[in-house]
């Protein structure tokens, strides 16, 4: 049976560790340049080597995004970076630009090339073109239905990767100039300002200052604000098409997001592979996906063009039922050391979960600072505080609280 990988985002070294520990078969990340998320922490050369060692030790692969639309200056600087990526042992290079692909073949010939979703592959003839060019894998466009993906699969031996979760573009990925036009920040250089998420008005040139609301319907004016993708319910169909990789979007999201989404899709896919015919998404998985920061979910194009149902018209805000507050660093003799991420207080009701542990409620008791003195609240981000937890806690467990 086809066993697709779970491919998770690694926006920085901590998120890489979370992704791998919470069940990813592979992660994707960028160095400090040439990737499509310039505002994620990303990886220095040293961090990239360390990340590869960590992933290898846990049996996971690392794909590196080099998927900007390159300018001449990039072409001059890329050879050294590509040689470094091969020498460091990257498992794949995610590329959108033919010029970058030519350089990758020359300076990193042993590393397989994956065609980025920025190339917008939406038909099997394009897939064959890229296969003949020498790509090993294609990250398909998000704007495809299940039958369309199956038809592409039927015509090519290439590995196919599909997005199953995360933010969607209002435009085809990489075909958007809105952010560059309005803010001078090019989405094609990894610097998208999410200009599509805003509320827009109409102004007639002879009446400056008179902002006329634009109503798509009675709900409001966020006319380009796409919902977030969630294909949990469609895993059996996707497995059956024979795609090789299920990709989770979100290199800019938190370690909590990466851990939660990776764990949910890991469990769901394992259940699906065990019994595809009997697969029913566990309501608890959907509940977990409501705890992380997200826009209202959609199944995107998988069951056909979503039309207006693919947009959120009334708000640009993201929602989440829970707030991430800390990462457990260690647990010994009934006390946990926690790296604080958001303020929490003595006596507060929180929730803890780990890579193999289901969410469990907990009261913060006997909170102490790093010197061991009792404190009423943890208030300094990244400070290591401790409190009593009377059951064993897994390494890499996370804490959150209901909003
Ligand atoms: S502005 Fe919106 S549509 Fe354009 S690239 Fe950014 S997220 Fe996508």
Domain boundaries along the sequence of the chain:
5-173+227-303, 322-402
- What pLDDT sits at residue 362? 95
Low-confidence ranges of the chain (pLDDT < 70): 36, 213, 215-221, 223
Q: What pLDDT, on the 0 to 100 scale, is given for residue 217?
A: 56
Structure tokens at 278: 């009997």
- Which CATH architecture best describes the domain 322-402? Beta Barrel (2.40)
How many angstroms is it from 135 CA to the middle of ligand 1?
26
- Residue 206 and residue 214 in contact, taking contact as beta carbons nearer than 8 Å: no
* Residue 150: predicted pLDDT: 97
Distance 248 CA to ligand 1 centre (A): 17
Closest-CA residue, ligand 1 atom 8, reads: 169
Q: Does residue 288 contact residue 267 with C-beta atoms inside 8 Å?
A: no
Taking 3-state DSSP, the helix, strand and coil percentages for the chain, each rounded to the nearest 5, stand at 30, 25, 45
Q: Ligand 1, closest atom to CA 174?
A: 5
Domain 322-402 in the same topology as domain 5-173+227-303:
no
Spatial CA neighbour of 1 closest among 193, 194, 231, 272? 272
Closest-lying ligand 1 atom to the alpha carbon of residue 179: 1
Query: Ligand 1 centroid vs 1 CA: distance in angstroms?
Result: 37
- Strand blocks (E) in 333-383: 335-340, 344-345, 349-353, 360-363, 377-378
**Distance separating alpha carbons of residues 49 and 31, to the nearest angstrom:** 11
Q: Are 400 and 323 in contact (CB under 8 A)?
A: yes
- In the block, tokens 């794909």 appear at 63
- The predicted structure's pLDDT at residue 177: 79
**Cα-to-centroid distance, 173 and ligand 1 (Å):** 8
**What is residue 281's predicted lDDT score, i.e. its pLDDT?**
95
How much is the pLDDT for 219? Answer: 54
pLDDT at residue 66 in the model: 95
Q: Decide: 244 and 227 in contact? Cβ < 8 Å.
A: no
Which residue do the tokens 């897994």 mark?
A: 394
Q: Which CATH superfamily is domain 5-173+227-303 in?
A: Aldolase class I (3.20.20.70)
Distance from residue 142's CA to the centre of ligand 1 (Å) = 14
108 vs 102: CA distance, rounded Å: 10
pTM above 0.75, yes or no: yes
What integer pLDDT is reported at residue 216 of this predicted model?
A: 56
Pocket of ligand 1 (CB under 6 A): 169-171, 176, 178-179, 187, 192, 194-196
Rg for the chain, CA atoms, rounded:
22
């Amino acid at each position: 049976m086809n066993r697709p990988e779970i491919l998770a985002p690694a926006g920085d070294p901590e998120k890489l560790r979370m992704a791998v520990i919470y069940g990813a078969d592979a992660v994707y990340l960028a160095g400090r340049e040439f990737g499509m998320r310039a505002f994620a922490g990303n990886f220095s050369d040293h961090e990239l080597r360390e990340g590869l060692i960590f992933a290898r030790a846990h049996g996971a692969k690392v794909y590196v995004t080099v998927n900007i639309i390159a300018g001449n200056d990039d072409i001059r600087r890329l050879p050294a970076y590509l040689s470094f990526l091969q020498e460091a042992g990257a498992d794949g290079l995610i590329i959108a630009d033919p010029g970058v692909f030519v350089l990758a073949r020359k300076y990193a010939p042993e590393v397989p090339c994956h065609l980025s979703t920025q190339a917008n592959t939406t038909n099997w003839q394009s897939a064959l073109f890229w296969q003949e060019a020498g790509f090993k894998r294609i990250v398909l466009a998000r704007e495809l239905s299940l039958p369309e993906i199956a038809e592409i699969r039927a015509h090519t031996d290439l590995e196919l990767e599909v997005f199953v979760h995360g933010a969607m573009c209002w435009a085809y990925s990489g075909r958007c100039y809105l952010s560059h036009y309005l803010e001078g920040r090019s989405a094609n250089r990894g610097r998208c300002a999410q200009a599509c998420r805003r509320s827009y008005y109409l102004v007639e040139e002879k009446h400056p200052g008179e902002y006329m609301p634009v109503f798509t319907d009675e709900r409001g004016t966020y006319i380009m604000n796409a919902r977030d993708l969630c294909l949990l319910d469609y895993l059996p169909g996707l497995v059956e098409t024979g795609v090789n990789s299920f990709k989770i979007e979100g290199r800019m999201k938190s370690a909590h997001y990466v851990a939660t989404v990776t764990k949910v899709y890991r469990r769901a896919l394992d259940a699906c592979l065990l019994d595809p015919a009997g697969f029913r998404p566990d309501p608890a998985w959907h509940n977990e996906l409501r705890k992380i920061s997200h826009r209202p979910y959609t199944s995107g194009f998988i069951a056909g063009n979503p039309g207006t149902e693919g947009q959120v018209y009334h708000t640009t805000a993201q929602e989440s039922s829970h707030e991430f507050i800390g990462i457990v660093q260690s647990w010994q003799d009934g006390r946990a050391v926690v790296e604080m991420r958001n303020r929490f207080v003595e006596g507060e009701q929180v929730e803890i979960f780990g890579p193999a542990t289901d969410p469990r409620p907990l009261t913060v008791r006997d909170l102490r600072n790093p010197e061991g003195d009792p404190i009423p609240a943890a208030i300094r981000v990244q400070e290591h505080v401790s409190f009593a937890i009377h059951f064993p806690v897994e390494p890499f467990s996370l804490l959150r609280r209901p909003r």
